[in-house]
């Protein structure tokens, strides 16, 4: 009996070792962008110097209720196709509204495609009637990107981090918001994440618009072998009951009337930037592109990222940038305000390294955690999307960023970043804060402080996944 137990224990330990090594080892080596790929990054191609406006009009969407309203407005306008790609969908009030609108659109003949990260889709959507009913509707298809296989642990970390909504050839909404109540709507008594998106209206031909670029990117990802259809089989009776409930819900939705031209401003050009779409360690194409754009700035750079977890390459790149553009600012969550405990722990450990890149560092001290990912370069380049300035977004996940040339939209984004900066404390070179009578330093409870300190040492061996 003891011999059998010993054998079982050895087998379990062997599998655990296999699992841990298989999960971590494939991502240890951080790739660099190959010279031939670097040559393709032509910073001048992101600008339109003709003096004429491009086909896309744009608006920065900051407020969570506006973000929900915009989604409902866009879905209501759909005539042929709706594309939704997101990292995470969870049940909740905002999800009820969105899926009611999607089902209603499907029943008027609109084709709906929904792509969700496989890990988070499995965790938060499986077994839920609202998703099973929608996914089994003839005009709606839900696919998961890379559902992890425990027997193949190297499949666990490659996540779909893209977040965008496309309607026909007309509308695009892209940013950092996931699809649940934390980021959408106004829900009393629930947590709130502060985020940001850019709304695009295409006024011309699809091929000239960011809408067409994102649709082409989506189709390439949608057709990958790692993307598998989910929820396509469910009891017809159960589906009918849930679909009728959602259609009834759709009749009660209060969708605001939005004048697309009135709320948007003209832009010169919009260009999509993405990471590779396979599930393994990636060449850091988004990081390299943003770095090159920042290195070509003339006056100033403002970066908003929830977290900062830099690799050696990123530390070196940020030093290059600050030497070229001394007026470079990063705004991120304070450790007390942040909701990503691992990223906060790494920041506590490596904060001084970030300071010594030469950036002006500001920590947001608001009540809620910020989740937006944006850059302002000079006075005419606005960048919004899903990319965090951390190792996971740089080397592991799929990411999408929209680079928009235009002074008016850049001014809009600049105002949002200055509002965040006004609620932040500047970090001195020694890591302490400059005094600001208008901003109160957030503090952590003892439990969180101890956990952060413990993790700050523990995660250093695999911070490349943070």
Token pair of 362 as six digits = 């500001």
Question: What does the mean pLDDT of the chain come to?
Answer: 94
Distance (Å, rounded) from C-alpha 192 to C-alpha 213? 31
Question: Can you tell me the mean pLDDT for 80-88?
Answer: 98
Please give the C-alpha separations between residue 437 and each of 206, 241, 434, in angstroms, as whole numbers.
50, 57, 10
Q: What is the pLDDT of residues 427-439, one digit of tens each?
A: 999 999 999 999 9
Q: Is the pLDDT of residue 305 over 90?
A: yes
Distance (Å, rounded) from C-alpha 372 to C-alpha 417? 10
62 vs 190, more confident: 62
CA end-to-end span of the chain? 43
Question: Can you tell me the mean pLDDT for 63-88?
Answer: 97
| 410 conformational bin, left if phi > 0, alpha if psi -120 to 50, beta if neither | alpha
Which residues, 6 or more positions from 41, have their beta carbon under 8 angstroms from its beta carbon?
288, 289, 292
Strand spans (E) along 94-135: 111-117
Specify the DSSP class assigned to residue 325: -
- Residues 38, 155 within the same domain: no
Distance (Å, rounded) from C-alpha 454 to C-alpha 41? 41
Q: What is the pLDDT of residues 95-111, one digit of tens each?
A: 999 999 999 999 999 99
Contact (Cβ atoms closer than 8 angstroms) between residue 209 and residue 270: yes
343: in domain: yes
Find where tokens 């934390």 sit: 182
Which residues, 6 or more positions from 43, have their beta carbon under 8 angstroms from its beta carbon?
292, 293, 296
- Residues 171, 276 within the same domain: no
Q: What is the pLDDT of residues 369-419, one digit of tens each?
A: 999 999 999 999 999 999 999 999 999 999 999 999 999 999 999 999 999
- Residues 39, 85 within the same domain: no
Distance (Å, rounded) from C-alpha 273 to C-alpha 275? 7
Which residues, 6 or more positions from 363, have their beta carbon under 8 angstroms from its beta carbon?
331, 332, 333, 334, 335, 337, 424, 425, 427, 433
Which residues, 6 or more positions from 322, have their beta carbon under 8 angstroms from its beta carbon?
328, 357, 358, 359
Q: Is the pLDDT of residue 299 over 80?
A: yes
- Residues 236, 90 within the same domain: yes
Question: Can you tell me the mean pLDDT for 127-153?
Answer: 95
Q: Is the pLDDT of residue 448 over 80?
A: yes
182: in domain: yes
Structure pTM? 0.95
- Residues 292, 233 within the same domain: no
Distance (Å, rounded) from C-alpha 375 to C-alpha 379? 11
- Residues 313, 417 within the same domain: yes
6: in domain: no
Distance (Å, rounded) from C-alpha 368 to C-alpha 5? 50
Identify the domain boundary among 244, 261, 278. 261
Neighbours of 58 (CB within 10 A): 28
Band of residue 189 on the pLDDT scale cut at 50, 70, 90: low
Question: Can you tell me the mean pLDDT for 51-63?
Answer: 96
Identify the domain boundary among 211, 235, 261. 261
* 301-304 vs 369-370, strand pairing mode: unpaired
C-alpha closest to that of 144 among 159, 128, 154: 159
Domain count, the chain: 2
- Out of 8-12, 56-60, 211-215, 293-297, which region has the weakest mean confidence (pLDDT)? 8-12
In three-state form (DSSP H/G/I as H, E/B as E, the rest C), the secondary structure along 173-216 is EEECCCECCCCCCCCCCCCCEECCEEEEEECCCHHHCHHHHHHH
C-alpha closest to that of 114 among 202, 212, 230, 195: 230
- Residues 317, 240 within the same domain: no
* CATH number, residue 227: 3.30.870.10
- Residues 46, 98 within the same domain: no
Please give the C-alpha separations between residue 26 and each of 19, 41, 259, 398, in angstroms, as whole numbers.
12, 27, 49, 16
Band of residue 20 on the pLDDT scale cut at 50, 70, 90: confident
> Is the Cα dihedral 295, 301, 305, 311 positive or negative?
positive
Question: Can you tell me the mean pLDDT for 63-67?
Answer: 96
- Residues 227, 282 within the same domain: no
- Residues 216, 275 within the same domain: no
Specify the DSSP class assigned to residue 376: E
Question: Can you tell me the mean pLDDT for 56-72?
Answer: 97
- Residues 366, 404 within the same domain: yes
- Residues 234, 282 within the same domain: no
Token pair of 143 as six digits = 């696919």
Q: Is the pLDDT of residue 144 over 90?
A: yes
Distance (Å, rounded) from C-alpha 413 to C-alpha 197? 10
Question: Can you tell me the mean pLDDT for 215-236?
Answer: 93
Give the domain range for residue 338: 32-51+270-465
């Amino acid at each position: 009996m003891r011999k059998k137990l010993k054998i079982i224990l050895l087998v379990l330990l062997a599998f655990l070792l296999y699992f841990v090594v298989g999960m971590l080892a494939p991502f240890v080596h951080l790739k660099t962008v190959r010279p031939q790929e670097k040559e393709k990054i032509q910073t001048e191609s992101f600008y339109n110097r003709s003096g004429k406006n491009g086909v896309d009009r744009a608006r920065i969407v900051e407020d969570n209720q506006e973000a929900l309203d915009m989604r409902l407005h866009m879905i209501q306008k759909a005539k042929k196709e709706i594309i939704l790609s997101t990292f995470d969908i969870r049940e909740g009030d905002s999800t009820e509204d969105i899926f009611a609108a999607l089902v209603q659109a499907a029943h008027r003949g609109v084709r709906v495609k929904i792509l969700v990260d496989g890990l988070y889709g499995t965790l938060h959507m499986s077994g839920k009637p609202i998703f099973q009913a929608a996914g089994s509707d003839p005009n709606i298809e839900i696919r998961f990107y890379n559902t992890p296989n425990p027997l193949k642990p190297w499949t666990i970390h490659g996540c779909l981090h893209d977040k965008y909504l496309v309607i026909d050839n007309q509308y695009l909404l892209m940013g950092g918001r996931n699809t649940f109540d934390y980021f959408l709507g106004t829900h009393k008594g629930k947590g709130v994440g502060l985020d940001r998106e850019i709304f695009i209206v295409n006024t011309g031909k699809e091929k000239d618009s960011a809408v067409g670029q994102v649709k082409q990117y989506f189709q390439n990802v949608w057709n990958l072998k790692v993307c598998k259809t989910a929820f396509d089989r469910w009891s017809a009776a159960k589906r009918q009951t849930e679909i009728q409930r959602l259609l009834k819900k759709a009749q009660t939705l209060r969708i605001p009337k939005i004048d697309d031209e009135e709320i948007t401003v003209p832009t010169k050009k919009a260009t999509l930037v993405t990471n590779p779409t396979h599930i393994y360690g990636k060449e850091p194409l988004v990081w390299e592109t943003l770095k090159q754009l920042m290195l070509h700035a003339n006056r100033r750079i403002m970066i908003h990222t929830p977290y900062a977890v830099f690799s050696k390459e990123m530390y070196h790149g940020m030093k290059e940038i600050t030497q070229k553009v001394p007026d470079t600012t990063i705004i991120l969550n304070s450790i007390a305000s942040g909701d990503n405990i691992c990223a906060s722990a790494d920041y506590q450990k490596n904060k001084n390294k970030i300071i010594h890149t030469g950036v002006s560092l500001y920590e947001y001290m608001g009540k809620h955690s910020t989740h937006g990912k944006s850059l302002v370069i000079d006075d005419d380049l606005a960048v919004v999307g899903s990319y965090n300035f951390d190792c996971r977004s740089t080397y592991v996940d799929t990411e999408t960023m929209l680079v928009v040339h235009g002074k008016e939209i850049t001014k809009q984004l600049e105002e949002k970043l200055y509002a965040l900066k006004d609620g932040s404390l500047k970090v001195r070179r020694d890591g302490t804060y400059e005094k600001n009578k208008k901003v109160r330093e957030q503090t952590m409870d003892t439990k969180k402080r101890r956990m952060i300190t413990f993790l700050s040492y523990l995660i250093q061996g695999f911070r490349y996944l943070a």
